[in-house]
Amino acid sequence: MLKARVILLALAVVFVVSASASAVAQAKGPVWHVNKKVLESKEIDEITDGLAPGSSAKLVGTVAGLGVTIICKTVMSHGELIGGNPGKDKEEIRFTNCELMGSPACVVTVAPTHAVSELDHAVGGTEPKKILVDFSAESGRLFTTITIANKGTETCTTKITNAEVKVATGATYGVACETSPEEKEAEVNVLTCPETAIKEVEQGEQGQPKVAVGLEFAGKPATFSAIIDVKQVSHLPFGPFQT
């Protein structure tokens, strides 16, 4: 009888611990909804991105002690939403039609960018906290490389070859962007990466410890800004939800 009680007690403890772990696992962060359903773990949905009409992507940094601004007028990406908690994303991004602001003698080339992201929360504000999409590199810290060279026979005074754009040392993410709409599905999800960079986020469920966000270009602090339209290849409505 005593042995049976011990076994039953052990099973009860295992059940309680498993239930608690399951509850924590299900409260990690925001999730993607697609066509009125949660995108579950291991489910994927194909997406494409492009600049919002009339906008451009901007990288602000430093080269050889001088402030530089790189503007790209065309951004196209292809990837997939990845289900689970929190919701994630994986994509290849191509920046083209780029130029160095104020330097018409320079031509700018950006290598294909490989990024992953996950849904997290903004720091501060009232509950529920604003949902963010936070980007990191697919492998290591490196997002892409940028080369600035002479345009034809003209002389570019700010030249650099294969300068790395990567997650800053000590940061978890390189860029954090706001997403809209929230708690609602739409055919187009608008991703706004603000010019005033978001420097920290709450990773996972609300109230969790803050983690740093930072970007480097050519070994110096940099910021990236853009307004991006994200669409499902299937044209189904989707969006980020708290649960």
pLDDT of residue 227: 98
Question: How confident is the model at residue 74, as a pLDDT?
Answer: 98
Can you give the pLDDT at residue 19? Answer: 38
Q: What angle do CA 169, 175, 176 make, to 5 degrees?
A: 125
3-state secondary structure the chain: CHHHHHHHHHHHHHHHHHHHHHHHHCCCCCEEEECCEECCCCCEEEEEEEECCCCCEEEEEEECCEEEEEEEEEEEEEEEEECCCCCEEEEEEEEEEEEECCCCCEEEEECCEEEEEEEEEECCCCCCCCEEEEEEECCCCEEEEEEEEECCCCCCCCCEEEEEEEECCCCCECEEEEEECCCCCECEEEEEECCCCCCEEECCCCCCCEEEECEEECCEEEEEEEEEEEEECCCCCEEEECC
Contact indicator for 241, 33 with CB cutoff of 8 Å: yes
- Output the pLDDT for position 97: 97
Rounded distance between C-alpha atoms, residue 165 and residue 137, angstroms: 10
pLDDT at 208: 80
Residue-level pLDDT at 101: 97
pLDDT of residue 21: 39
Distances (CA, A) of 140 to 46, 90, 93: 24, 14, 17
> How high is the mean pLDDT in each 10-residue block of the chain (243 residues)?
42 38 53 97 95 97 95 97 96 97 97 97 89 96 98 94 98 97 97 97 84 97 98 97 93
**pLDDT value, residue 174:** 98
For residue 206, the model assigns a pLDDT of 76
pTM (predicted TM-score): 0.85
**How many angstroms separate the CA atoms of 91 and 240, rounded?**
17
The Cα 28–Cα 147 span in angstroms is 39
